[in-house]
Amino acid sequence: MPPKTPASLSDFQQNYPNYVASKVDAEINEIWYTPSHGQFLFHGGVWPNNSANTLVLSGPFSTSFCPQVALRNAEWKGKAYDDGQIDIFVLRVANPQTNVFAFRRKGTKMGNEKEVLFSSGAKLVLHNRTLIRNDYQVAKAHHSTKQVPVYVIEVEIS
């Protein structure tokens, strides 16, 4: 990775969801680095219910080396509350085709996220879904807490 985080990538991390995807992709693709085959990463969110088992992403995709960070990102700003569930993606890099940027951990405000950002075009293939619990408490500002299911999903990413 370059010694200094490019401006568009710093903007992505500091101002998400307000960023310019084309600039983020350009910065990541200029560095031209793919993750190692077999690398494991994590993402918190929800697999789209109306999609098949394969997705090609149209925007940058944030992942972490830490499953706890992925869980917290799924809860951020009431997302899990609104979605009614949490999917913790356990991502295994297979035949890497998509460039990534690994954010620095030291000397940055968001280093605790241990973030690796994929450029647009990453292909995800869902292999397995396991219910971990169906009573995980989530919250959202100005709402009562509620319980949602949490799944671990096994996904290949290239």
Mean pLDDT, all residues of the chain: 93
What is the average per-residue pLDDT within 18-41? 95
Residue 2 within a domain: no
Instruction: Name the residue type at position 97.
Output: Q
Residue 106 within a domain: yes
Listing from the earlier edge strand, what are the strands of the sheet with 54-56?
54-56, 123-138, 146-157, 86-93, 40-45, 61-64, 115-118, 100-102
Q: Give the number of domains in the chain.
A: 1
pLDDT digits (tens, 9 = 90+) for 58-94: 999 999 999 999 999 999 999 999 999 999 999 999 9
Q: pLDDT tier at 113 (50, 70, 90 boundaries)? A: confident
According to the model, what pLDDT value does residue 4 have? 85
90 within 8 A of 154, measured Cβ to Cβ: yes
Q: Inform me whether the pLDDT recorded for 110 exceeds 90.
A: no
Domain span at residue 32 reads 7-157
